[in-house]
Chains A and B, each alone.
Chain A
Amino acid sequence: MTMRPSATFDTPAIAEIQRAAREGMYAIRGFGAKRRVPHFDDLLFLGASISRYPLEGYREACGTDVALGTRHAARPLRLDIPVTIAGMSFGALSANAKQALGEGASKVGTSTTTGDGGMTPEERLASDKLVYQYLPSRYGMNPDDLRRADAIEIVVGQGAKPGGGGMLLGQKISERVAAMRDLPAGIDQRSACRHPDWTGPDDLEIKIQELREITDWQIPIYVKVGASRPYYDTALAVKAGADVVVLDGMQGGTAATQEVFIEHVGIPTLAAIPPAVEALQELGMHRSGVQLVVSGGIRTGADVAKAIALGADAVSVGVAALIALGDNSPELAEDYAAMGTAPGAYDAWHEGRDPAGISTQDPELAARLDPEAAAQRVANYLRVVTLEAQTIARACGKSHVHNLEPEDLVALTVESSAMARVPLVGTSWVPGASVDPARRTS
């Protein structure tokens, strides 16, 4: 008899039905979308040749600095590299992990970001440049911390769950985490999915004005959205007065969200960038007034360069930063095996049993992470992706990574060509484009 597995009811689908039938509750996990979606891997750079000439690959100057918040803030955030650390909470992560992210980012002249739950003193001390997230839950929200921040990021949503709030399971709600969030210890803490005191773009404009009044118009105000309707969300954020738009695609990570949400809500990072850039261009703000920070599945310098070529001013990394810290390390294979998983597949960040000491509040587990060594790994990683992006930029003849442009790119697939709005490789065809690609100038 021939074995014939179903393409529709494949092994993971069958396993999930069986799990649901057994446990009676939907699955929650960390990490971002794991399904294959069109991504930066589907794009290629056109290196210089006769029609373009390259810069010397190892020596010629190729700038990587970026200023975020030049529109309204007296003190824009000036970063040495166009790669930042995304918002992740103390609570979801251990204090050691947050400290290591701050120190790692500081070593290479970039920023890190707080998360749901407020700012810790260790994190502020460790981070030369710290972005303070202003979230719907307002856990730990403190105007003194707001004024201590180098920028404010109003979080509307995140790529893993646009339209969703958060969840921090009770085992991670230690006494310290609970006290910061004004909650009883040990309960499963929910974060609201919408802000308590504003509901639409007109309100957001007033909220931004309040935050500027409280911080004396000194620091930039970002607006972060999960990628779903990036053209409209970008335009509305700009209209509301944002200095920076942070756009997080569906591959962006989460500490704990329903699996069905992670995999089925939101759009891929690749598809989100061009509409956001289009909105900025139409408003005369692209590369001149409002900066665009892109996140969601950034792994390598090639990803950094491709995001920037499509129009981002900078990118931010979350999952990759955790991996650099030590998450999913092969050295933890035995620990992972004991938990029924393996290096490369561990995503139970919500459970608080992280053998790497990163996504936990267990003191013994957290002590496994040496913050200094972890900070160095983060700094190394950030340095490498920056060098890689420079390498590509030089090959395309660019003296600054921001000089990369869509014209430097082609797409390997019809889908990615349509999404990225760059020609299918070997053709002049951009599916869906109303303008002849040969005449594209940006």
Chain B
Amino acid sequence: MSTIETTAGTLNLDDLGLRGVNRTLQQAAAGEGFSLANPNGLHAIAAGLRAEVAVDVLGHAGYYCAGMNQRATVRVHGNAGVGLAENMMSGRVDVLGSAGQAAGATARGGLLVIHGDAAARCAISLKGAHVVVRGSVGHASAFMAQTGRLVVLGDAGPGLGDSIYETRVYVRGTVGELGADCVEKPMRDEHLDELAALLADAGVTDVSASDFRRYGSARQLYHWQHPDGAEDR
């Protein structure tokens, strides 16, 4: 599945347990690299990292892999469960397979690249990070997303961008029924430039920014006293 070379320093989750592995990673110095053997879908693998370390997860990860990541580079050589890289602050997380629900939830910085598909609520309440999905995303993605960018090379399920704030969403494939207050917006030069840079950062070279359409907030729900109640939804 992966063409990325793994880094030195293998930690075996079977031997060290989750706490032992996470403590080692959390205390590692910048520049160190680790491979994690036998992840076996464990939860909270590589959560709470703070230094510029490189971590390769050699298999499938469970919930909250790389949760709240700061500065670290984490690559999952498999699939990842719910809440991948949730509330990431900085750094980069790649999942070479697919991701479960709420990937990149509330992430405030850094780059999350999902090489397969992402399930529902991808980039929910996004707060500044950039999320690039090579495949498709499920329903209610970018729900209440505030800032940051969601890029989807495949299709987006229904409810995209429901109650969205200032996040920009770029989708190359089809989009289901848009969520409340989410509208398609014109792709201007600044958006093409921004998207091209994002694709380059994510290592995506086989598609053009001009293939995408842009979605964002109509800003009709920004003020409570606007008639934004159930009748509008």
Contacts and interface: CB of A to CB of B under 8 A. Distances in A.
Nearest to B43: A206
A192 B144 contact: yes
Contacts of B128: 182
A216 B23 contact: yes
Interface string A132-149: 000001100111101000
Interface in A197-212: 197-198, 203, 206-207, 209-210
A419 to B, nearest CB: 34
Interface in B57-108: 62-64, 67-68, 70, 82-83, 86-87, 89, 101-102, 105-106, 108
A182 B89 CA distance: 13
A418 interface: no
A217 interface: yes
Interface stretch (B1-9, B149-157, B204-212, B220-228): B220-228
Given A192-B125, A209-B44, A217 B224 contact: no
B127 interface: yes
A210 B64 contact: yes
B70 to A, nearest CB: 6
Contact of A214 (B67, B83, B143, B223): B67
What secondary structure prevails in chain B residues at the interface with A? loop
Contacts of B87: 138, 141, 143
Contacts of A143: 48, 50, 68, 70, 87, 89
Contacts of A207: 63-64, 83
A164 to B, nearest CB: 14
B106 A206 contact: no
Given A28-B224, A182-B147, A138 B47 contact: no
Interface of A: 24-25, 28, 137-138, 141-144, 146, 167, 169-170, 181-184, 187-188, 190, 192, 196-198, 203, 206-207, 209-210, 213-217
Given A196-B124, A203-B63, 20 more contacts: A137-B125, A138-B127, A141-B108, A143-B50, A169-B224, A183-B166, A187-B165, A188-B224, A196-B125, A196-B143, A197-B64, A197-B101, A197-B124, A206-B82, A207-B63, A209-B43, A210-B43, A210-B67, A213-B44, A216-B26
